[in-house]
Chains A and B, each alone.
Chain A
Amino acid sequence: MYKILRKKKLEKSASEEKDTVSMRTLTKSLEKNIVLLKNAFSGDETVMYRVFQNKHLDSAKCCIFYLDGMVNSEIINENIIQPILSDDLTQNISNHNLLDELRYKIIVANNISVSEDFNTIAAALYAGDTVFLLENCDRVLVIDSKGWQTRSITEPESARVVRGPREGFTESIIMNVSLIRRKIKSHELKFKFREIGERTHTKVCICYIDDIISKDVLKELERRLDEIKIDGVLDSGYIQELIRDEPFSPLETVGYSERPDVVAGRLLGGRVAVIVDGSPVVLTVPFVIIETIQSNEDYYNNYIFASINRLFRGMSLLLSISVPAIFLAIVTYHQEMLPTPLLLSISASREGVPFPTVLSMFIMLLIFDLLREVGTRMPTPIGQAVNIVGTLVLGQAAVEARLVSAPIVIITAFTGIVNLMNITFIGPSILIRFFLLFASAFMGIYGFIFGFVVTLLHLMSLRSFGVPYMLGTTKIEDHDGQDVLVRAPWWSMTLRPKIIGARNLVRQSSKNKRGNNR
């Protein structure tokens, strides 16, 4: 309901804006044009203008508009103002088409265009270009003079590697595009730009390798991007949520990464990337669940070591959702499964604990997630205090005070730690873990089994841009399964996964196969 209301409101305001804009047309008089632009941007004091004149030619009276802080003032001073001020414009210049003469012969800029439409001018101004007005001319020049401060390329905090490239995306879309381009120097690598956001006019770039991707995925992605009508896009998270399949599922169906090498790898695997201006996180579709446990380092390290690490990650994913539930089921319903000494020690530690196992387990897991969230939000210097409170007060003291039993603290800590191994899976795993926990509390191991099957059914029913979410997990015989639970050696991965990179299957010529060349 809210969505519909907001949409209507948006449309209304957009149409109003258009009415006022249509009256803003440029005239021949410089004075009037300056007044027009000044009025249009009144209230915005970052809009700067400067009027100047050539010392030889009086008719070359002009004015530039630019946004303070968005432009490189060196470019404006040396390439626009200086030539026009000091050059002798009377020579070699015919007077009747002064604007084009200036454009072609005088102004030094790599990108320059002529415009008379107010909207284009405003958009260019906001993008950091300089608008150049001339006396007796109802057209203006839009001169590229962008220059604002950006963050330098650093390794992303959220995904560090021991081995592999250390660069990460930044907030500037052009820099991100160049980072990808530097990895894939093929003419088949395409970048398509568009603007999303009625007010923010955020640049969004679709990036893909033309002869690998499936056209259906690209078409579907473009359709979904076209359908987005939102006032602002501040991060790629907005786009991620607006284009995803299965909007009610807790699982992510759109992948993301902060690393150019990861995105380049996925592009080579037949994915489409979506780069959003202002966000160092680049989206990739289609996304399958196995990408949660894949790491870029897998491909740079020895394949046996990498496979072991990946198996650990897969195992930790399973354990983080199921350990509390299995523990609860066994301790409360199937005690006979435990060897007697273990059973005795567990029941001894439960002595005097007032809460039922399920309740204390639930509370402890909740507290762990609370602490995790506190850990990410708080300023670094306070970290020590939280650590001490978390470990000592909530762990040790709670056991000593007989509020919870020691095994529960151990299980909680274990679950919490393995959960952190797959950072992208933290969100869904909280929900699945509690779901399985309650299923176990309800019906013991049968509850767990049913909860597990329900989760599995849900996973199996998911699709990301037409690709099954569990792709590759049900078969290992052909090339689809080479890069799933283990990472096969590079010399054996000659083909791409079939469903995603269907049009151009060959990844490397089979000559590289072991035995042929060594």
Chain B
Amino acid sequence: MRKEVITDKEAICILIIFIIGSTLILGIGGDAKNDRWVSGVIGLVLAIPFLLIYARIQTIFQGRDIFDILIILLGKIGGRFVAVIYIWYGFHLGAMVIRNFGEFVNVVVMPETPMFVLMVTIGAVAIMAVKLGIEVIGRTCAYLLPILIVIVIIVQFLGIPEMRTNHIKPFFSSTITSVLDGAFSSFAFPFAESVVFLGVFFTLKTKKSPYRVYFYGVFLAGLLIIAVTIRNILILGPLGTSLYFPSHVAVSRISIGDFLQRIEVSVAFVFGVAALIKISICLFVTAKGVAKVCNLNDYRSVVIQLGLLMVYFAQFIYKDIMTMSNWAFKIYPFYALPFQAILPVFIWIMAEIKKNKITAKKQIA
């Protein structure tokens, strides 16, 4: 089989689409009211050291995915054990995104269609994408990202007549704790979710690329998310916090000349595509991990099984949309902390030690 390679540009595109995935529709920042955008900025800044760590790990072990790295660092048994934890994270994240999508479409557009049908459909497309390989996903993202960005920008401009500047003022009106809470939540969801890409970026060509890709990707995505958050605050005002899907409602307010109206479909397009890519990446990493842990030759043989399991898991992961929203903003940041911050730091420290040993050995020899 041919070795898959993605270019830096494609990797940045995947990363951006991954991060705006479910965030554009669920919003960020939780309780920070009209300072949610500040939470977003702080969350992005908080993510910087961790991005450095992820990129550093990937640079030390260029061409190896996180499961390989774990097995090298922790030995065959210990490495596999920790690998299972990351497989679980990818699997759970994918299931959550599937559920987000299912809830969104079910609540907003098709209340009569069973949610399971919607989730199976998006799952099936994701399975197909992963079966075609990361290279194809990368090229598709490079094609789709410009379309998504153009849509977001156009909607941004169309929303100007509906914006009220008094919605965002006064700055820092909410308490500092709620802003920091929101920042922590937006750090975990979505910025630090890029830890999943430790299982993808082994396909990059050069040693320098991880830094470039992580920074460009996360910053551009952060910019988009913060811009959309500001738009939502400006259009919706205090109402925004109590909505499950603020972007959707904000865009539905747009009405230009009695002709261009109710263009939520644009949000649906962005969300549909981005969620699909996010699910595909999660599924890819999960399948890759399972293949590594079980010593399979090709991850493609477990994609269908894992994809379907992901859909079933998404079916019973939450009771309803309230649980989902509560989980995403309140519990998820703490749940994700080990995967996003604690374990990567350990891996990084061990990688540095191991690397020194290897270089020392080489020097002696």
Residues of A within 8 A of B (CB): 333-334, 336-337, 339, 442-447, 449-450, 453-454, 456-458, 460-461, 468, 470, 473-475
Contacts and interface: CB of A to CB of B under 8 A. Distances in A.
B113 A449 contact: no
B268 A446 contact: yes
Contacts of B132: 457-458, 460-461
B110 A443 contact: yes
Contacts, number: 79
B136 A336 contact: no
Given A339-B258, A457-B128, 7 more contacts: A446-B268, A449-B272, A449-B273, A456-B143, A457-B137, A460-B140, A474-B143
Contact of A444 (B109, B125, B137): B109
Contact of A446 (B105, B129, B133, B140): B105
B276 A445 contact: no
A453 B140 contact: yes
A454 B143 contact: no
Given A450-B122, A454-B125, A475 B142 contact: yes
Interface of B: 9, 105, 109-110, 113, 117-118, 121-122, 125, 128-129, 132-133, 136-137, 139-140, 142-144, 258-259, 261-263, 265, 268-269, 272-273, 276
A337 B252 CA distance: 10
Given A337-B262, A456-B144, A446 B272 contact: yes
Contacts of B263: 337
B142 A336 contact: no
B77 to A, nearest CB: 37
A453 B139 contact: no
8 nearest CB pairs, A to B: A449-B272, A474-B142, A460-B139, A336-B262, A461-B136, A461-B132, A460-B136, A460-B140
A468 B139 contact: yes
B128 A454 contact: yes
A446 B118 contact: yes
B276 A453 contact: yes
Contacts of A334: 109, 262, 265
Contacts of B142: 474-475
Nearest to A439: B121
B121 A450 contact: yes
A457 B113 CA distance: 26
B234 to A, nearest CB: 23
Interface centre among A333, A447, A449, A458 (most CB of B within 10 A): A449
B128 A445 contact: no
B74 to A, nearest CB: 36
A9 B113 CA distance: 55
20 contacts: A334-B109, A334-B262, A339-B259, A443-B118, A444-B109, A446-B105, A449-B272, A449-B273, A453-B144, A454-B125, A456-B144, A457-B128, A460-B132, A460-B139, A460-B140, A461-B133, A468-B139, A470-B143, A474-B139, A475-B9
Nearest to B272: A449
A283 to B, nearest CB: 25
Contacts of B262: 334, 336-337
Given A443-B113, A453-B276, A339 B136 contact: no
Contacts of A443: 105, 110, 113, 117-118, 121
A336 B262 CA distance: 6
Contacts of A456: 140, 143-144
A449 B121 CA distance: 11
A456 B133 CA distance: 14
A446 B109 contact: yes
B265 A337 contact: yes
Nearest to B252: A336
Nearest to A471: B139
Contacts of B265: 334, 337, 445
Contacts of B144: 453, 456
A449 B109 contact: no
Contacts of A446: 105, 109, 118, 121, 268, 272
A446 B125 CA distance: 12
B112 to A, nearest CB: 11
Nearest to A333: B109
Nearest to A339: B259
A382 B316 CA distance: 63
Interface centre among A334, A339, A453 (most CB of B within 10 A): A453
A334 B105 CA distance: 12
A443 B125 CA distance: 13
B125 A339 contact: no
A457 B140 contact: yes
B332 to A, nearest CB: 25
A74 B263 CA distance: 78
A284 to B, nearest CB: 23
Contacts of A447: 121
Nearest to A456: B140
A231 to B, nearest CB: 34
A460 B139 CA distance: 6
Given A337-B262, A450-B125, A473 B143 contact: yes
A447 B268 CA distance: 11
A474 B147 CA distance: 11
B301 to A, nearest CB: 18
A458 B139 CA distance: 11
A447 B118 CA distance: 9
A6 B262 CA distance: 61
A322 to B, nearest CB: 12
B139 A470 contact: yes
Interface centre among A443, A446, A475 (most CB of B within 10 A): A446
Contacts of A449: 268-269, 272-273
B250 to A, nearest CB: 16
Nearest to B269: A449
Nearest to B139: A460
A244 B117 CA distance: 37
Contacts of A336: 261-262
Contacts of B143: 456, 460, 470, 473-474
B118 A450 contact: no
Nearest to A449: B272
Contacts of B139: 460, 468, 470, 474
Given A453-B140, A456-B140, A339 B129 contact: no
B110 A444 contact: yes
Nearest to A326: B265
A490 B293 CA distance: 55
Contacts of A337: 261-263, 265
Contacts of B109: 333-334, 444-446
A144 to B, nearest CB: 48
Nearest to B260: A339
B263 to A, nearest CB: 7
A461 B276 CA distance: 17
A453 B105 CA distance: 17
A202 B144 CA distance: 45
Nearest to A334: B265
Nearest to B124: A450
Contacts of B261: 336-337, 339
A10 to B, nearest CB: 33
A461 B263 CA distance: 32
Contacts of B268: 445-446, 449
